[in-house]
Structure 1
Amino acid sequence: MKNLINLILWKVALGVLTLFAVSLIIFTGVQMLPGDFATEILGQAATAEAVAAIRESLGLDLPAHQRYFAWVGDLLTGDFGTAFSSGRDVAELIGPRLWNTVFLAGLTAMIAVPVALALGLICAVYRDSWFDRAVNFVTLASISFPEFFVAYVLMLWLAVNAGLLPVLSDVDINSTLSERIYLSILPALTLTLGVLAHMVRMTKISLVSLLENEYIETARLKGNSELRVLARHALPNAWAPVANVVALNLAYLITGVVVVEAVFVYPGMGQLMVDAVQVRDIPVVQSCALIFAVAYVLVNLAADVISTATNPRLLHPK
Structure 2
Amino acid sequence: MSFPILRLVAQRILLGLVLLLAVSVLIFAGTQILPGDVAQAILGQSATPESLANLREQLGLNQPAYIRYFHWLGGVLTGDLGTAMSSGQDIATSIKERLWNTLFLAFWAAIVAIPLAITLGLIAVRYRDGWVDKLISGVALASTSFPEFFIGYLLVFYFAVQHQWFPAISTVYDGMSFGERLQAIALPAAALTLVVLAHMMRMTRAAILNVMQSAYVETAELKGLSASAVIRKHAFPNAIAPIINVVMLNLAYLVVGVVVVEVIFVYPGMGQYLVDHVTKRDVPVVQAVGLIFAAVYITLNIVADIAAIVANPRLRHPK
With the shorter chain as reference, the TM-score category is over 0.9
**Greater CA drift, 167-176 or 288-297:** 167-176
Aligned partners of 1:305, 1:98: CA distance in 2, in Å? 25
Alignment of 1:302-313 (within 5 A): 302-313=303-314
- Tell me the CA shift for residue 60 of structure 1: 1.8
The letter of the residue matching 2:88 is G
- Tell me the CA shift for residue 296 of structure 1: 0.7
Alignment of 1:257-296 (within 5 A): 257-296=258-297
2:46 maps to 1:8: no
The letter of the residue matching 1:133 is K
Alignment of 1:138-287 (within 5 A): 138-287=139-288
Superposed CA RMSD: 1.8
Q: Does structure 1 retain, via aligned residues, the 8 Å contact 2:113–2:197?
A: yes
Alignment of 1:92-171 (within 5 A): 92-171=93-172
The letter of the residue matching 2:178 is L
2:185 is paired with a residue whose SS is helix
- Tell me the CA shift for residue 263 of structure 1: 0.6
- Tell me the CA shift for residue 225 of structure 1: 4.7
Label 1:21 to 1:97 Cα distance change in 2 as closer, same or farther (>3 A): same
**Greater CA drift, 30-39 or 42-51:** 42-51
- Tell me the CA shift for residue 163 of structure 1: 1.1
Aligned partners of 1:174, 1:42: CA distance in 2, in Å? 36
Aligned partners of 1:276, 1:147: CA distance in 2, in Å? 21
- Counting aligned pairs with the same residue, the percent is 52
- Tell me the CA shift for residue 270 of structure 1: 0.4
Q: Does structure 2 retain, via aligned residues, the 8 Å contact 1:216–1:229?
A: yes
Label 1:127 to 1:226 Cα distance change in 2 as closer, same or farther (>3 A): closer
Q: Does structure 1 retain, via aligned residues, the 8 Å contact 2:126–2:227?
A: no
Label 1:213 to 1:282 Cα distance change in 2 as closer, same or farther (>3 A): same
2:87 is paired with a residue whose SS is coil
Q: Does structure 2 retain, via aligned residues, the 8 Å contact 1:81–1:89?
A: yes
Scaled by the length of structure 1, the TM-score of the pair is: 0.95
2:27 maps to 1:22: no
1:12 is paired with a residue whose SS is helix
| Alignment gaps of 5+ in structure 2 | none
Q: What is the number of equivalent residue pairs in this alignment?
A: 318
- Tell me the CA shift for residue 217 of structure 1: 1.8
- Tell me the CA shift for residue 232 of structure 1: 3.2
The letter of the residue matching 1:13 is L
Q: Does structure 2 retain, via aligned residues, the 8 Å contact 1:15–1:297?
A: yes
Aligned partners of 2:233, 2:51: CA distance in 1, in Å? 71
Once the two structures are superposed, residues 181-204 of structure 1 have per-residue CA deviations (whole angstroms, 9 ceiling, x without a partner) of: 110010011111111111111111
Scaled by the length of structure 2, the TM-score of the pair is: 0.95
The letter of the residue matching 2:280 is V
The letter of the residue matching 2:176 is S
Label 1:4 to 1:232 Cα distance change in 2 as closer, same or farther (>3 A): farther
